[in-house]
Amino acid sequence: MEKELHEQYEYARRRLKQKKGLYFHFVLFILGSIFMFIANHFLIFGIQSNWAIWVITFWAFLFILHFIKVYITDRFMNKNWEREQIEKLMAKQQQKIEQLQNQIEDDSSIKH
């Protein structure tokens, strides 16, 4: 039971760290976007294009990927999911081994 409790604690700690990183990324995205918008419109660097929009759009795309990883992918593909997948793969492998053994037995009985 203690091992299970420790696994739950480690999972909760890891999820909290992921969420904290995502929230930090969000705050950094908002502040960075505001700064880039201001820099693009009020500070003239000799570039007359709307470069901040492109940078903010790309950064938003990266943030969305980070969000999907934390709240969708990692939420469903946790330790329980890994265990289930391993058990399924092991069961398939065991079935193939049994089929091969049956084939070998059938081949050896035909030859005798």
The position carrying tokens 């419109």 is 41
CA-based nearest residue to 102, from 20, 31, 94: 94
How many structural domains comprise the chain? 1
Tens digit of pLDDT per residue, the chain (112 long)?
688 888 888 888 988 999 999 999 999 999 999 999 888 888 766 667 788 899 999 999 999 999 999 988 877 777 777 788 888 989 999 999 999 888 888 777 776 6
pTM, entire model = 0.65
- Can you read off the two tokens belonging to residue 48? 């007359």
Query: CB atoms < 10 A from the CB of 29, how many?
Result: 16
d(CA 14, CA 29): 22
d(CA 105, CA 74): 45
Residue-number span of the structural domain to which 85 is assigned:
2-111
d(CA 55, CA 40): 11
